[in-house]
Amino acid sequence: MLLYWIILPIVWVLAHIVFRIDVVGMENLKAVRDGRAYVIASNHIANLDPVFIAVAVMDWRRMCVLAKEELFENPFFGWFLRCMGAVSIDRGKGDTDTVGRIAALCRRGTGVLIFPEGTRTKNGKLGVLKSGAFVIAAAAGAEMVPCRIIYDTKDGRLHPFCRMRIVFGCAIPASELQITDPSHRVTALRHMKKRLKEALEELLEQNAFPPRGPQPEQPAAAEEQPAAEPVQTPSQGESL
């Protein structure tokens, strides 16, 4: 925990020097960060996404971050992730032990950061949402805060010295994240995914950077031609 307090301010400074971070909607996160159980559900573009979100949150109470096992294979990066509160999870198996442990932490008021897509997207667009984030939120009785990371680059991916925007949306109430009837589990999860996807897409629509580079010209509207005058047909007996 001491290392977290030491590392976080250093990372905050470096992140703001190398990248220009703009945080939007912090009031939505503060509204649930009062000891209640909450999950931050974010889109995922770059390996550094959890670091940037930790910098944006800047909470001295260390968050719990779910990360794929492969990220811990590098000794230094694995050590750094653990200092930042990351917990490895095996995406290929139903890691019920880890899910139960994370849900217990969440119930005690520890913020949990999850990337529901389960992997990074190569084009910056939102991928298919997996069920893990919703299972944890349901088990913990937690609210879910949608989070959208937006990079100001042509391809939507992370590049050195690019601007970025981290947007927190209004929390999805815990009452909408419950699986009350196990027989309707699939339907409930489908509804939760739809609810989160709509929230994440709305955050992008409302907070996207202006398009970069020259934009294709819109074709000029065709000039209106004056309406042709009706042809008068001479009546019978009328001279031409």
pTM: predicted TM-score of the whole model, two decimal places: 0.81
Q: Which of the four pLDDT bands, split at 50, 70 and 90, describes residue 240?
A: very low
CATH number of 24-207: 3.40.1130.10
Over residues 190-200, the mean pLDDT reads: 96
pLDDT digits (tens, 9 = 90+) for 122-138: 877 899 999 989 999 99
What is the per-residue burial (b if ≥16 Cβ within 10 Å, else e) of 3-18?
Answer: ebeeebeebbeebeee
Domain boundaries defined on the chain: 24-207
Closest CA to 150 of 59, 47, 46: 46
On whether the CB atoms of residues 62 and 135 are closer than 8 A, the answer is no
For residue 34, what are its two tokens? 């009062």
pLDDT in tens, 202-228: 999 999 998 876 666 666 555 555 555
**Whether the Cβ atoms of residue 130 and residue 189 lie closer than 8 Å to each other:** no
Sheet with 20-24, side-by-side order of all strands = 20-24, 163-168, 143-151, 38-42, 112-114, 64-68, 86-89
Q: With the C-alpha atoms ordered 106, 138, 119, 33, is the resulting torsion angle positive or negative?
A: negative
